[in-house]
């Protein structure tokens, strides 16, 4: 006779990766130096079953001189053409320097990053139902 606890534990081990695979994972991308200013980016991996029409993550950057700067990284222009991130696809969140202010320092002067606001929209402008996890 098979022990029920053993069967449950086996099912838990098999199901755990599937549960972890759901959601929208955002990780630090490559930093760029544009005209002496650090321009961070984030890479999105959509592991959910829904298409992300728009994603915006606010990064709060702590500088070496003690000041803070906030930067909004976006999957597309807010009122422009959308670049949807389909299930199983990847995308990049970028700072649009033509509509936002540069942080004013090179990347070496950024000592810490933390996440501020997150805005995720699916089809029809509705909020995403999947969890968004960000590792800045």
- Beta strand extents in 1-136 (DSSP E only): 24-28, 32-34, 37-39, 41-46, 54-63, 68-74, 90-94, 110-121, 132-135
Identify the three-state secondary structure at position 133.
strand
Residue 127's contacts (CB-CB under 8 Å, 6 or more residues apart) are 120, 121
**Is 40:85 a contact under the CB 8 Å cutoff?**
no
pTM, two decimal places: 0.80
Distance CA 102, CA 111 (A): 17
pLDDT digit string, tens, across residues 30-68: 999 999 999 999 999 999 999 999 999 999 999 999 999
- For the chain, the domains span 23-135
* Annotation: CATH topology of 23-135: Immunoglobulin-like (2.60.40)
Distance CA 109, CA 119 (A): 27
Distance CA 57, CA 41 (A): 10
Distance CA 126, CA 67 (A): 35
pLDDT digit string, tens, across residues 113-126: 999 999 999 988 89
């Amino acid at each position: 006779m098979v022990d029920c606890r053993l069967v449950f534990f086996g099912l838990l081990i098999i199901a755990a990766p599937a549960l972890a695979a759901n959601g929208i994972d955002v990780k630090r991308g490559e930093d760029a130096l544009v005209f002496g200013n650090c321009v961070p980016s984030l890479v999105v991996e959509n592991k959910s079953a829904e298409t992300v029409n728009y994603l915006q993550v606010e990064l709060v950057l702590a500088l070496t001189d003690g000041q803070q700067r906030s930067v909004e990284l976006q999957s597309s222009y807010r009122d422009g053409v959308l670049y949807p991130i389909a299930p199983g696809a990847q995308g990049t969140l970028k700072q649009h320097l033509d509509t936002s202010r540069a942080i004013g320092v090179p990347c070496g002067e950024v000592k810490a990053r933390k996440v501020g606001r997150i805005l995720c929209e699916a089809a029809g402008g509705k909020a995403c139902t999947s969890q968004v996890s960000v590792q800045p």
